[in-house]
Structure formats: C-alpha cells, structure tokens
Amino acid sequence: MSKSYYDPSDLRKFGNITDWNEELGKKFFDYYGKVFEEGALTAREKSLIALAVSHVVKCPYCIDAYTQDGLKRGITKEEMIEAVHAGAAIESGATLVHGVQMMNKYKKLSM
Amino acid sequence: MLIKSLKKRENELANAKRQLKILSEGVFKTGELPMFSSQLEAINKSVLKPKILEILQINVGYMCNQVCAHCHVDAGPDRKEIMTRKTMRQCLDVIKKTGAHTLDLTGGAPEMNPDFRWFVVEATKIGVKDFIVRSNLTIITANRKYYDLPEFFKKYNIHVISSMPHWTKGKTDKQRGNGVFNASIKALKMLNAVGYGMPGSKLKLDLVYNPSGAFLPGDQAALESDFKKALLSEFDIQFHQLFSITNLPISRFLDYLIASDNYNDYMYNLVEAFNPAAVENVMCTNTLSVSWDGWLYDCDFNQMLELKVKSSVQHISEFDKETLSSRTICISQHCYGCTAGAGSSCQGTVT
C-alpha cells in the first residue's frame, strides 16, 4: 500500500471503479459524460465551473484534470483564477453566513 | 528564452538515435505502455502502408529567425542546412510527374532560403492545385527585404499557413520568443491588407495552433471559434481555418517534456487518446517529406529522426512513384502524436 492517500497516477485508474460494480460505474460515467457536453452552457463554461468546484471540494485529482482540460480549451490563467475565486468566495461566504446563526444564538442567550 | 538550437548547444537530444532510444525505453520498455507497433496490431494493422501520394512536403532548410521552445525541427538562426538550387531542380522534376495536388514548403523559415522566390516562381509554372508556404509570420517583419512577402505570396496565389499558439501575448511569447506576438499581429495585418484571410477571399490564410505546454490540443472547431472572436475583436484580424496540431515528443519538445518531468504523463495522455479512426487518415499515408539535401521521408517528424523511407529509392534524384508506393512506413512511439484524439497532421485534425 502507498504511504500517501493521494497518488496522481490513481486518476488514470478512475475508470476501474466500474470493475467492482459495472452497472453503477457505467451509469456514473454516462451521466458524467453527458453533463459536460455542449448544452445551454458551453463545454468551455462547464469546464470553468468544474475547476471552481474542484477547489471547493478540494479534490486534487479534479484540480489536475480541469487545469489540463482548461489548457486544452485555450482557457487563460486569468479566467482560471477568477473561477477559483468565485468558488472560494462562495465557500467563505458559506462559512461567514453562519455568523448570523452565531449572532442569533448570542443574542438569545445574553441578557 | 532559447537562443540556440539543441545542435549548437551539443545537447544529446540533437542526436536522432538518442531520441529514438528514449522513445523505446522507460514506460514502453517496462510494458507499462504498449509500443505503437503493438497498438497497430491490436487494431489488426500490422504495418502502415502509403495510399495515393497527395502532398509533397519540401523542407527547404532548417534556418529560422525564431528559436521556438517546442520546435520539432530544432530550427534557428544557427542552423545552416539549406536546400540548394540543384536539389530544388530535382524537386521540380518530381512535382511535374507525381500528380500530387498539394505542394507544401516548410522549414525553418522557408523564406530565408536565398532561392526561395526562384523556387516558388518555377513551381507555380507547373501548376499544383494547392501551393502552401508555412510562414512563421515574424519573418515578414524581420527585415526590409521581406516586407513585400504578402504581395509576393498574392502574386503567386500561395496558400499561407502560419503558426499562432494563442491569441494572448504571454502564451505566444513564452513558446515562440519575446516580441513574437506583436510581430505576428503586425504580419497578419499586412496579410489581411492585401486580401489574405478575408471572408470569401481566394487568398487562403490558415493558422496552426500547437499547445504551449505538456497537454493535448482541445477541439479544433471550438479553438477556431475562440481564435476568430479574439483576433477580430482585439486586433481586427481575420483568417480562414485553424489547424490544431499535437506536439510530437521529439527534439526540443522532448527536451522540454523530460526537463519539466512531464514525459511519462504526456506519453500516457497520447496513448490513452489513441484513436483507430485517426490511424486510417494519418498524414504519412498521403504525404512524402523531402529534406533540404533531397532525402525522402514518410513525414517531417521522421525526417528529424533521420528515419529515411524504407525503400530502394531514398533520394529525390531517383524518385520513382511505384517503388515508393510499396514501402512500409517507419514508425516509433512518436507516432502516437498523430493518432491521439481527433488525430493530428500538418493539415490539422484527420477525423
């Protein structure tokens, strides 16, 4: 066993999850493939959304994959960092908005 | 920033045999990845054979005013290999009798060959359907003596194909050298001014896109649309088609892959993207490549790897269509570059 939880080469083996449950694995990859097709949003826009979400869910595999995907599509580093900030802003906002709960509780418990 | 070729620096990767050795070792030797020949066998193609010869690609010399980081020719100002008029005459004789509909001049910067214009004028007299010159664009603005190239190209109805890795300055200059982006924009405007690349114009101006790094090109049509939008809105520049070309792991690009520790991942990407449909139309099946000294190769990449055609005819002076058409195409692991995804050729994707 590897001494590390994450190994970059594991990304190449992602498809192998189908080995242990073909039906669910296949359904997932079909769904995944369909989601990223050109639709009401362009494949390019979806790639940037995926990059932002990759950071929010802190998935190193996804970050590698969607940085490379963006480069292939000619997405610039300026666009990539703005997408990452959009994700980060929502994530920090999600933390901060809980401050309202803290304030409510504080007020309720205080005389 | 590169200023000298691998050859001038006496880098080991200037040696074709060394490159071929690297391409057959490592992940391919351990069996982690299949050799290109095994991949062909897996799709029931034991060998690659040529079809009808459609394109004659002539490399008129390795001299160039640029030293691009990804250049598979290892071209640059320090390269002195230049095609002589004698070899050009032999090429002209062959053009007359091949029946190939496309003549494709490449380099280096082909315009730097002192006999370039003479050759273009003579070749035009023969009357091929599509006469391509691969121009790096900056040569047009490099020196006063080249300023009239757009007019010269127009006079002889040359199809101009030029390299442009991105529509932003940073990415272009990183791959092709400082100042290349601005000079390229200026040259494109000069070409547009005489009618090249304009909608409906018969003066064809196409761009070639090579990824500026260790990744494969994305969808050609999507890239073309992005390039067109950006070049038109920001610089008022127009062109016809964009050809996306995969960087093959040879010469300077191989050097870059190894130095940046990207070689294995890149080879994995190429092998994983192997597309049997691309094998059917790979350019070595309809093209012959001629080197500055008249030797014949299956493609420009094999030329740089010094893999001459496997035939009793190996030189332009002894050209024989029948003999050459029965040859087997030389392959190695670099061939994965032309069969990845939608495929790649000097004319862009092949599927």
A97: domain CATH number? 1.20.1290.10
What pLDDT was estimated at residue A67?
A: 98
Local confidence band at B27 (pLDDT 50, 70, 90 cut-offs): very high
Taking contacts as CB-CB distances below 8 angstroms, the residues of chain A near B216 are 72
A85 falls within a domain: yes
Smallest Cβ distance to B218: which of A12, A74, A76? A74
Q: For A26-53, what is the mean pLDDT?
A: 97
Q: What is the CA radius of gyration of chain A?
A: 19
Smallest Cβ distance to B268: which of A12, A71, A76? A12
Smallest Cβ distance to A68: which of B167, B215, B222? B215
A74 falls within a domain: yes
Q: Do the bridges between strand B55-59 and strand B102-106 make them parallel or antiparallel, or are there none, so unpaired?
A: parallel
Q: Total structural domains in chain B?
A: 1
Would you say residue B258 has pLDDT above 80?
yes
With CB atoms and an 8 Å threshold, state whether B219 touches A71. no
B350 falls within a domain: no
A28 falls within a domain: no
Residue of A nearest to B341 (CA): A72
Domain that holds residue A97: 41-109
A68 falls within a domain: yes
Q: For A91-100, what is the mean pLDDT?
A: 97
B175: domain CATH number? 3.20.20
Q: For all residues of chain B together, what is the average pLDDT?
A: 95
What pLDDT was estimated at residue A30?
A: 98
Task: Give the model confidence (pLDDT) of B147-162 as tens digits.
Answer: 999 999 999 999 999 9
What pLDDT was estimated at residue B165?
A: 79
Task: Give the model confidence (pLDDT) of B51-101 as tens digits.
Answer: 999 999 999 999 999 999 999 999 999 999 999 999 999 999 999 998 899
B345 falls within a domain: no
**How far apart are the C-alpha atoms of A73 and A25, rounded to whole Å?**
27
What pLDDT was estimated at residue B174?
A: 82
C-alpha to C-alpha distances, B254 to A91, B92, B164, B272, B298, nearest whole angstrom:
41, 34, 20, 18, 20
A17 falls within a domain: no
User: Which one is predicted more confidently, B174 or B230?
Assistant: B230
Would you say residue B1 has pLDDT above 70?
no
Task: Give the model confidence (pLDDT) of B287-322 as tens digits.
Answer: 999 999 999 999 999 999 999 999 999 999 999 999
C-alpha to C-alpha distances, B40 to B19, B24, B43, B45, B333, nearest whole angstrom:
21, 16, 5, 5, 11
* Interface test mutation site (partner B, options A38, A44, A71, A79, max chain B beta carbons within 10 A): A71
A35 falls within a domain: no
A62 falls within a domain: yes
C-alpha to C-alpha distances, B64 to A60, B73, B138, B167, B203, nearest whole angstrom:
41, 10, 10, 22, 24
Task: Give the model confidence (pLDDT) of A55-64 as tens digits.
Answer: 999 999 999 9
Q: Total structural domains in chain A?
A: 1
Residues written for chain B? 351
B5 falls within a domain: no
With CB atoms and an 8 Å threshold, state whether A73 touches B222. yes
Domain that holds residue B210: 12-339
A25 falls within a domain: no
With CB atoms and an 8 Å threshold, state whether B217 touches A12. no
Residue of A nearest to B221 (CA): A73
What pLDDT was estimated at residue B286?
A: 95
Would the ipTM clear 0.90, i.e. be above it? no
Task: Give the model confidence (pLDDT) of B202-253 as tens digits.
Answer: 999 999 999 999 999 999 999 999 999 999 999 999 999 999 999 999 999 9
- Burial (CB count within 10 angstroms: exposed 0-12, middle 13-18, buried 19+), residue B317: middle
Taking contacts as CB-CB distances below 8 angstroms, the residues of chain A near B215 are 68, 71-72
Taking contacts as CB-CB distances below 8 angstroms, the residues of chain A near B218 are 69, 72-74
Smallest Cβ distance to B218: which of A12, A72, A76? A72
Residue of B227, B342, B226, B224 lying closest to B279 (CA atoms): B342
